[in-house]
């Protein structure tokens, strides 16, 4: 048995579209998870024209996913940080302050699209930040970094239902620490910036955390918790997230680079982070108030 889920921005999901699709696919009764925002219905089989329909509803501002009904509610969330749990790329924001923003943003975009080796691209960008005062980090956190919409509800609801939450980033612990604490993650992992005499050296501590480190985090944390990869929902947007997205029971490409989204069955381009709750079958009435 499968479940089809339709998700849009609040007010963006027309009941007529949902009913029409349910009828075309011979689905079960429509269940509204949030009025005019998210709905689901059961299916006996995965539709053969899924991706053609997906493309059509994308033009209407609607995300569509079909997944196995059993085991949708996950026991662990593994989340990327930059452009996923926050709206920015931290290294790009540091680069703006250092006066090399355009150069670094171009490298970041190519790396996240899989055009450049992650480790090499990281070291190339770090070299451009050599000499930047360490104190700039706290200023960037306070003035340039914003949380992605829906993140608080996602973490609070999953933790409130017994799930473990981990933030894993190819960025830096100087950012994942405060972001993880603010959002309520159980733990975080990222690269460590090298600092000498109050300034960035232009390097990061070894080993460098990239694509494989995110897979390792999934395997290590699930083993510690006594669960399996099938119990994990992973979310990310860049090429270095593909390993964990493919390994997790539910890998969600969230507002992802096209080359990344093309390799994932679960793609959210219109909804915010609460879409990950709808994909698991949570109704908005079940969301935990994050305060």
**Would you list the DSSP string of 17-68?**
HHHHHHHHHT----EEEETTTEEEEEESS--TTHHHHHHHHHTTTEEEEEEE
The total domain count for the chain is 2
Same domain for 167 and 270, yes or no, is: yes
Q: Find the helix packing angle between 173-183 and 151-160, rounded to 10°.
A: 70
* pLDDT tens sequence for the chain (291 residues): 999 999 999 999 999 999 999 999 999 999 999 999 999 999 999 999 999 999 999 999 999 999 999 999 999 999 999 999 999 999 999 999 999 999 999 999 998 888 988 999 999 999 999 999 999 999 999 999 999 999 999 999 999 999 999 999 999 999 999 999 999 999 999 999 999 999 999 999 999 998 999 999 999 999 999 999 999 999 999 999 999 999 999 999 999 988 899 999 999 999 999 999 999 999 999 999 866
Same domain for 202 and 260, yes or no, is: yes
Alpha carbons 61 and 286: distance in angstroms, whole number: 24
Within a domain: residue 139?
A: no
Query: Is 82 annotated as catalytic?
Result: yes
Same domain for 44 and 164, yes or no, is: no
Within a domain: residue 133?
A: no
Selecting among 52, 56, 63, 82, the annotated active-site residue is: 82
Number of other CB atoms surrounding residue 75 within 10 Å: 20
What is the largest distance, in Å, between two alpha-carbon atoms of the chain? 67
**Cβ contact 137:174 at 8 Å:** yes
Same domain for 212 and 230, yes or no, is: yes
Within a domain: residue 118?
A: no
Find, among 217, 271, 264, the residue nearest to 237 by Cα: 264
Same domain for 164 and 195, yes or no, is: yes
Alpha carbons 260 and 110: distance in angstroms, whole number: 12
Burial classification of residue 70, based on how many CB atoms lie within 10 Å of its CB (0-12 exposed, 13-18 middle, 19 or more buried): exposed
C-alpha neighbours within 13 Å on the C-beta side of residue 130? 7
Selecting among 36, 56, 63, 80, the annotated active-site residue is: 80
Report the pLDDT value the prediction gives residue 175, as an integer from 0 to 100: 97
Structure tokens that stand for 215 in this block: 């897979």
Within a domain: residue 135?
A: no
**Cβ contact 253:245 at 8 Å:** yes
Same domain for 82 and 26, yes or no, is: no
Find, among 74, 73, 79, 76, the residue nearest to 214 by Cα: 79
Q: What CATH number corresponds to the domain at position 242?
A: 3.40.50.1000
Same domain for 79 and 63, yes or no, is: no
Alpha carbons 159 and 246: distance in angstroms, whole number: 23
User: Regarding beta strands 250-254 and 266-268, do their DSSP bridges make them parallel or antiparallel, or are they unpaired?
Assistant: parallel
Report the pLDDT value the prediction gives residue 291, as an integer from 0 to 100: 60
Report the pLDDT value the prediction gives residue 1, as an integer from 0 to 100: 97
Same domain for 195 and 287, yes or no, is: yes
Same domain for 82 and 51, yes or no, is: no
3-state secondary structure labels for all residues of 191-239: ECEEEECCEEEEEECCCCCCHHHHHHHHHHHHHHHCCCHHHEEEEECCH
Report the pLDDT value the prediction gives residue 289, as an integer from 0 to 100: 84
Within a domain: residue 132?
A: no
Number of other CB atoms surrounding residue 179 within 10 Å: 23
Report the pLDDT value the prediction gives residue 29, as an integer from 0 to 100: 98
Question: What is the residue range of 61's domain?
Answer: 1-70
Please give the span between the terminal C-alpha atoms of the chain, in angstroms, as a whole number. 36
Same domain for 49 and 161, yes or no, is: no
Interacting residues of 205 by C-beta distance below 8 A, sequence separation 6+: 191, 192, 193, 194
Q: What CATH number corresponds to the domain at position 26?
A: 3.30.70.260
Same domain for 170 and 232, yes or no, is: yes
Same domain for 160 and 256, yes or no, is: yes
């Amino acid at each position: 048995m499968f479940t089809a889920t339709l998700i849009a921005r609040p007010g963006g999901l027309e009941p007529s579209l949902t009913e029409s699709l349910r009828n075309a696919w011979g689905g079960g009764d429509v269940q509204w998870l949030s009025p005019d925002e998210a709905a689901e219905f059961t299916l006996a089989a995965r539709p053969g024209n899924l991706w053609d329909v997906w493309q059509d509803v994308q033009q209407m501002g609607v995300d569509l996913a079909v997944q196995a009904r059993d085991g949708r509610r996950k026991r662990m969330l593994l989340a990327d940080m930059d452009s996923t749990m926050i709206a920015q790329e931290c290294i790009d924001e540091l680069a703006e302050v250092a006066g090399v923003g355009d150069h670094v943003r171009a490298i970041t975009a190519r790396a996240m699209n899989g055009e450049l080796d992650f480790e090499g691209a990281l070291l190339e960008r770090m070299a451009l930040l050599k000499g930047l005062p360490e104190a700039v980090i706290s200023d960037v956190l306070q003035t340039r970094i914003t949380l992605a919409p829906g993140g608080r509800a996602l973490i609070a609801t999953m933790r409130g239902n017994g799930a473990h939450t981990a933030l894993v980033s190819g960025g830096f612990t100087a950012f994942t620490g405060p972001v993880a604490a603010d959002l309520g993650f159980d733990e975080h992992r990222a690269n460590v910036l090298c600092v000498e005499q109050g300034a960035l050296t232009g390097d990061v501590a070894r080993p460098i955390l990239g694509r494989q480190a995110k897979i390792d985090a999934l395997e290590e944390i699930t083993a510690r918790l006594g669960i399996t990869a099938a119990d994990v929902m992973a979310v990310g947007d860049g090429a270095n997230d593909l390993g964990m997205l493919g390994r997790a029971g539910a890998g969600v490409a969230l507002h992802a680079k096209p080359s990344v989204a093309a390799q994932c069955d679960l793609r959210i381009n219109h909804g915010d982070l609460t879409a990950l709750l709808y994909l698991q079958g949570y109704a908005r009435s079940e969301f935990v108030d994050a305060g």
